[in-house]
Structure 1
Amino acid sequence: MRLITLVLAALLLLIQYPLWLGKGGWLKVQDLEQQVDAAHAKNEELRRRNAKLDSEVRDLKDGTGAVEERARYELSMIKQNEIYVQILRKGQIPGDGATPAPPPPPEPGKTAR
């Protein structure tokens, strides 16, 4: 009787092995589900990034506002007949991080020196 109980317990353990540790076992499935969740999160992040880039491309193609804004902030460009004003904080040196405004165009009838 004792031998039959030991054999049945051993068979029960052998049957449980594939369920827990086998190729399609619960531990493997849990690991794969975590990988799938991580891939979904990465894909969503990339979708948001692509949507942002797509809207920026559409702005650059369709409107001049985005081009003008980039020229102002990245290249420190100004429009013609526009006055450039730089406000300095106490102790700040003029010209830090900003390009000075170009000289105004000469008045009609006068020559530039």
Structure 2
Amino acid sequence: MRFIALLLAAGLIWVQAQLWFGQRSAARVAELQTQLQQQEQANAQARETQTRARAELKDLREGLEMVEEKARFELGLIKPDEIFVKLPLDPASRASGSKR
């Protein structure tokens, strides 16, 4: 009878040790769940970036409007018949400029 009690106690200790310190411990499961959530967020951001890149690629392949827009904003393209006007970006500059 004593042998069975010792065997059951040893089994209980082993199960508790696995629960607290083993590969499938509660702390490890919580850590893996946190890592999973972070990876899912990173995947969602990557999907969004990929969707935007595909849309931009489609625009570039289908029409020249996107090319012209990029040339205007990134390279400063101005057509021969256009007049270039530059406005200040911050509202304070606009307000002080309009009072003169």
TM-score, structure 1 normalization: 0.61
The residue number in structure 2 matching 1:21 is 21
What displacement does 1:52 show? 0.8
Q: Deviations over 1:49-92 (max 9, x none)?
A: 1111111111111111111111112111122333334457789x
Instruction: Write the mapping of 1:73-84 to structure 2, written as runs, cut at 5 A.
Output: 73-84=73-84
The residue number in structure 2 matching 1:44 is 44
The residue number in structure 2 matching 1:53 is 53
* Matched letter for residue 75 of structure 1: L
| Higher RCO, Cα 8 Å, sep 6+ | 1
Q: Percentage identity across aligned positions? A: 35
What displacement does 1:37 show? 1.1
What displacement does 1:9 show? 6.2
The residue number in structure 2 matching 1:62 is 62
Is 10-19 or 69-78 further displaced after alignment? 10-19
User: RMSD in angstroms over aligned alpha carbons?
Assistant: 2.7
Is 26-35 or 11-20 further displaced after alignment? 11-20
The residue number in structure 2 matching 1:4 is none
Tell me which stretches of 4 or more aligned residues in structure 1 moved more than 4 Å: 7-11, 86-91
Q: Which runs of 5+ in 1 are unaligned?
A: 1-6, 92-113
CA distance in 2, matches of 1:70, 1:27: 50
**Going by fraction, where is helix more abundant, 1 or 2?**
2
What secondary structure does 1:83 align onto?
coil
Is 33-42 or 74-83 further displaced after alignment? 74-83
